[in-house]
Chain A
Amino acid sequence: MSDTATTAADRIKQEISENPVLLYMKGTPVFPQCGFSARVVQILTTLGVKFKGVDVLADPAIRQGVKDFSNWPTIPQLYVKGEFVGGCDIVSEMFESGELKQVFADKGVPTRG
């Protein structure tokens, strides 16, 4: 493994341990640059969850690194309390069924209402 890959993985580990809700996305929460990232931002906002967005377009090492780290080929990727929850499809499905809200409740992440 190259130094770059090791560094990216270390940074991802640190980010997901320091931020209870972390979204790897294209663009920023205010200005998403992909419909799938925008969808997850919208869901988290609807639930009133405080989260940190990491723009993978700003950092090619993280963009590839997070795909390797999660064994998941696409962006966005949602992490809650260090655990990979899923991409846009899974997050949407879980939001619609109410499971996502339960995940936040179980992990002690406050939601609105």
Chain B
Amino acid sequence: MALDAATIEKLIKAGLPDARITIEALVDDDNHWSAHVVSSAFKGKSRVQQHQMVYRALGSRMGNELHALALQTSAPEE
């Protein structure tokens, strides 16, 4: 099983509606992705908490259908 970029983006957006998301393929196998997520919801949160918020949006898929998602998260700059 694999997830395409549009699905990943949709899932993250559902959890973090204001997120700006850039997704790139690390390998052309629909299974190794890199995502940069910028959301105001990340303000004041630690990196671990920011990634947990993205993982929560992806639900049980992370680590299952979605084997690898390299994550970079940040709050928008003022």
Spell out A's residues near B (CB within 8 Å): 36, 67, 71-75, 84-90, 93-94
Would you call A73 and B62 a contact (CB within 8 A)? yes
Beyond A72-B51, A73-B55, A86-B47: 9 further Cβ-contacts under 8 Å?
A: A36-B68, A67-B63, A73-B58, A73-B60, A73-B62, A84-B48, A85-B48, A86-B51, A93-B72
- Shortest distance from the beta carbon of B66 to any chain A beta carbon, whole Å: 9
Contact of A72 among B55, B60, B70 (CB under 8 A): B55
Q: Which residues of B contact A74 (CB under 8 A)?
A: 62-63
Which of A84, A86, A89 meets B70, CB within 8 Å? A89
Q: Footprint of A on B, CB under 8 Å?
A: 47-48, 51-52, 55, 58, 60, 62-63, 68, 70-72
Q: Which residues of B contact A94 (CB under 8 A)?
A: 47
Give the number of residue pairs across the A-B interface with Cβ within 8 Å.
32
Describe A's contact surface by its main secondary structure. mixed
Contact yes or no, A87 B51, CB < 8 A: yes
Do B71 and A89 touch (CB < 8 A)? yes
13 A–B contacts, CB within 8 A, in A order: A71-B52, A72-B48, A72-B51, A72-B52, A73-B62, A74-B62, A85-B48, A86-B47, A88-B70, A89-B72, A90-B47, A90-B51, A94-B47
